[in-house]
């Protein structure tokens, strides 16, 4: 096997050794995995996209929006809390970015702190969504109207993606603790970061479509 240089964590702000330069075999494997993961995210976009199409179709063809149920028009969603919760989620995206940057600069402790911050903010978002659901469910149910149908389906699927993301990030925390990733081989971290950003950006679309439009 050709010699590979594994970057050591020594606390200095050195940049990780570029694997392309020392381990072209790993570089190819990583490229394959990266393309596969990005294509998975593209297909996940279509997954949300088709439901968003359904929501647009139902909303545009409805005689009034919010729709009328049992003679009363349903209330609009509350934008203020959603705006705060959105900022929490976007904040977690930025903290995850910092986490990965620190890993690349071989700052293991800072990586761990930023990753924990991301997980905490992610859980915060989920708790915020739970609170939002408890408020919305007072007036709007999943099965009563197309408003509930589209809102709970889309935000529910998104929340599920966030939940899976939190699990994945926690797994990364455990794995980095065990030394699974090195300064030059850390594809799991890259994938986790991309997934987390993706989940963020889907929320931008949903926040706009349900709360701002």
Partner 1 sequence: MEAGTTTSHADHGAHDHIHPPPEGFIRKYVFSLDHKVIAFQYFTMGLIFMMVAGSFGELIRLQLTSPTGAIMSHATYNTMFTMHGTAMVWLVLIPLVTGAAGNFIMPLQIGARDVAFPWLNMLSFWILPVAAIVLFSTFLFGGAHAGWTEYPPVSLADGTAGALWCVAIFLVGISSTMTGLNFLVTIVKMRAPGMTWTRMPLFVWATFATALMNMIATVALSDALAALFFEHVWNVPFFDATRGGSAVLYQHMFWFYSHPAVYIFILPAFGVISEVLPTFSRKPIFGYKLIAFSSMAIAILGFAVWAHHMFPGGLAPWLQLPFMILTFAIGIPTGIKIFSWLATIWGGRLYLTSPMLYAMGFLITFTFGGITGVFLASVPADLHEHGTVYVVAHFHYVVAGGAVLGFLAAIPYWFPKATGRLMDERLSKIGFWLFFIGFNGTFFPMHWLGLEGMPRRYASYAAFAATNPDAVFWNRFETAFSFLMVASVGLLAFNVIWSVRHGKLAGINPWGARTLEWMISSPPPYYNFKKIPIVLDRPYDFDKPLPYRNLDNDVDPYPSPIAAVTGVKPVGAGA
Partner 2 sequence: MMTPELLEKSLAFVGAIIVGVTAIVQLRNDWAAKGLDAVVTKLLLGLMAVGCVLALLAAINVVGVHHAS
The site for partner 2 (CB under 8 A) is made up of: 31, 34-35, 38, 41, 64-66, 73, 75-76, 78-84, 86-88, 90-91, 93-94, 97-98, 101, 190, 193-194, 197-198, 200-201, 203-204, 207-208, 211-212
Select 11 or 36, whichever has its Cβ closest to partner 2. 36
Select 62 or 201, whichever has its Cβ closest to partner 1. 62
**162 vs 101: CA distance, rounded Å:** 22
**76 vs 211: CA distance, rounded Å:** 8
Instruction: State the nearest-atom distance from the C-beta of 153 to partner 2, in Å.
Output: 21
Instruction: State the nearest-atom distance from the C-beta of 62 to partner 2, in Å.
Output: 10
Nearest to 52 by CA among 180, 174, 157: 157
Instruction: Kindly give, in sequence order, each residue whose CB lies less than 8 Å from that of residue 83, ignoring residues fewer than 6 positions away.
Output: 207, 211
CA torsion sign for 112, 117, 122, 123 is positive
Instruction: State the nearest-atom distance from the C-beta of 69 to partner 1, in Å.
Output: 8
Select 147 or 191, whichever has its Cβ closest to partner 1. 147
Select 92 or 176, whichever has its Cβ closest to partner 2. 92
**203 vs 155: CA distance, rounded Å:** 8
- Where along the sequence are the contacts to partner 1 (CB under 8 A)? 1-2, 24-29, 31-32, 35-36, 39-40, 42-44, 46-47, 49-51, 53-54, 57-58, 61-62, 67, 142-149, 153
Instruction: State the nearest-atom distance from the C-beta of 100 to partner 1, in Å.
Output: 23
Pick one of partner 2, partner 1, none as the site partner of residue 180 (Cβ within 5 to 8 A by kind).
none
Pick one of partner 1, partner 2, none as the site partner of residue 209 (Cβ within 5 to 8 A by kind).
none
**22 vs 42: CA distance, rounded Å:** 31
Cβ–Cβ < 8 Å for 190, 198 = no
Count the residues in the chain.
213
Rounded to the nearest 10 degrees, the angle between the axes of helix 24-61 and helix 187-207 is 10
Pick one of partner 2, partner 1, none as the site partner of residue 61 (Cβ within 5 to 8 A by kind).
partner 1
Cβ–Cβ < 8 Å for 158, 199 = yes
Q: Which two tokens stand for residue 58?
A: 């139902």
Instruction: State the nearest-atom distance from the C-beta of 76 to partner 2, in Å.
Output: 4
């Amino acid at each position: 096997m050709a010699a590979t240089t594994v970057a050591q964590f020594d606390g200095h702000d050195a940049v990780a050794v570029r694997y392309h330069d020392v381990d072209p075999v790993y570089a190819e494997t990583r490229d394959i995995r990266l393309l596969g993961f990005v294509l998975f995210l593209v297909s996940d976009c279509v997954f949300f996209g088709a439901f968003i199409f359904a929501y647009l179709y139902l909303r545009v063809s409805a005689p009034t929006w919010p729709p009328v149920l049992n003679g009363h028009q349903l209330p609009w969603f509350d934008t203020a809390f959603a705006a705060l919760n959105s900022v929490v989620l976007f904040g977690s995206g930025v903290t995850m970015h910092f986490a990965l940057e620190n890993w690349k600069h071989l700052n293991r402790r800072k990586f761990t702190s930023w990753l924990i911050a991301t997980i905490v903010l992610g859980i915060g978002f989920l708790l915020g969504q739970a609170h939002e659901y408890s408020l919305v469910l007072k007036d709007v149910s999943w099965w009563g109207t197309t408003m509930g149908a589209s809102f709970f389906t889309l935000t529910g699927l998104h929340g599920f993606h966030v939940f899976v993301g939190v699990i994945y990030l926690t797994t990364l925390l455990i794995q980095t603790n065990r030394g699974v990733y090195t300064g030059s081989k850390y594809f799991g971290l890259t994938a986790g970061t991309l997934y987390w950003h993706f989940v963020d950006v889907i929320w931008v679309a949903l926040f706009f479509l349900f709360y701002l439009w």
